[in-house]
Structure 1
């Protein structure tokens, strides 16, 4: 499928409702047509040092950022009725579902599929022994600023678009 939307979330704490950034990439007919990124103020603007160490986002960075609830009217048209792709779809789907529930938003209003496409699972099925986003991107020669939500979403989109163009030398593990 050449028309889809890739998404990635970064979290401020271990709670799936602690979104601190979101990246969305809309692809139409195999071409990236829109990219969206925003910092998001997590509940109480609370962070764990462990998550900040991963993505570098701190409370001072999101103190003026919109909450997920305030940002949702912008996100809705980017996600509505889209074919969704994420590198770990179960994680990103759960983050979206749980965060929407926290803010009293109806997930079903987005009319998204029950399960999304997962580039990690796709590349595992293609024979990649390890399917971390950074590893897949390195092997597929896709630029990545790992744990930047937009860069991760863009990389996921490119992995999805290139799933049938894996060089033969990378398929030796099948």
Structure 2
């Protein structure tokens, strides 16, 4: 089975469609159900970071001043994710920034991707909500550092992902493929028991 890279971006805003850029990336690599490697870097996109983002993330313009440029970091990260699946909590957000930042250095990730948020909505329906902080408590996984810092969020998402995979595999008594996880993420919630019974 391919490694899974759980990633998280901190960004200057909500979307690269509005010229927002990544300012930090964090990721953990999962092999055979365990976190075996990690990647983290601030990055300087050459844009001003407003007060809201600084307060949210704790990342200041001064911190980014001497950080490596996005092009350098993303080239290194591209090597880190080769031959891996990727996962993120709210994949659509992080995948958009991944594609945009890699595109600026003429690179493209063509592997498979999964969303821990969509999976949680289907596998953990009794959680009060499916925000990362809530799921950390609900799944009783280790809290790692500070929310809204990329590596810490990636680690916590990785632990939640492993907890959900364990829950699925324990309920059906067999290993599930990444492709099946993707199918679960796209299946309406009311049809999940039927799908799991058919695996």
TM-score range, shorter chain: 0.7 to 0.9
**How many equivalent residue pairs?**
161
Q: Return the alpha-carbon distance in structure 2 between the equivalents of residues 104 and 47 of structure 1.
A: 22
Which of these two proteins has the greater Rg computed from alpha carbons? 2
Q: Is the 8 A contact 2:9 2:24 kept in 1?
A: yes
Higher normalized contact order (CA 8 Å, seq sep 6+, divided by chain length): 1
Q: Return the alpha-carbon distance in structure 2 between the equivalents of residues 132 and 154 of structure 1.
A: 15
Provide the aligned C-alpha RMSD in A. 2.0
Q: Secondary structure at the match of 1:57?
A: coil
In the TM superposition, what are the counterparts of 1:155-174 in structure 2 within 5 Å? 155-163=156-164, 164-165=166-167
TM-score (norm 2): 0.74
Name the structure 2 match of 1:152: 153
- Offset of residue 117 of structure 1: 1.1
Q: Is the 8 A contact 1:2 1:27 kept in 2?
A: no
- The C-alpha deviation readout for 1:27-77, integer Å capped at 9, x for no partner, is 1111111011111112x2311211111101011001110111011232122
* Cα distance change, pair 39–59 in 1 and its aligned pair in 2 (3 A): same
- Offset of residue 15 of structure 1: 4.1
In the TM superposition, what are the counterparts of 1:7-156 in structure 2 within 5 Å? 7-16=7-16, 17-42=20-45, 44-101=46-103, 103-107=104-108, 110-113=109-112, 116-126=113-123, 127=125, 128-142=127-141, 143-144=143-144, 145-156=146-157
5+ unaligned residues in a row in structure 1: which ranges?
167-173
Q: Is the 8 A contact 1:3 1:30 kept in 2?
A: no
Q: Return the alpha-carbon distance in structure 1 between the equivalents of residues 155 and 80 of structure 2.
A: 14
TM-score (norm 1): 0.84
5+ unaligned residues in a row in structure 2: which ranges?
169-192, 194-199
- Of Structure 1 and Structure 2, the greater helix share is in 2
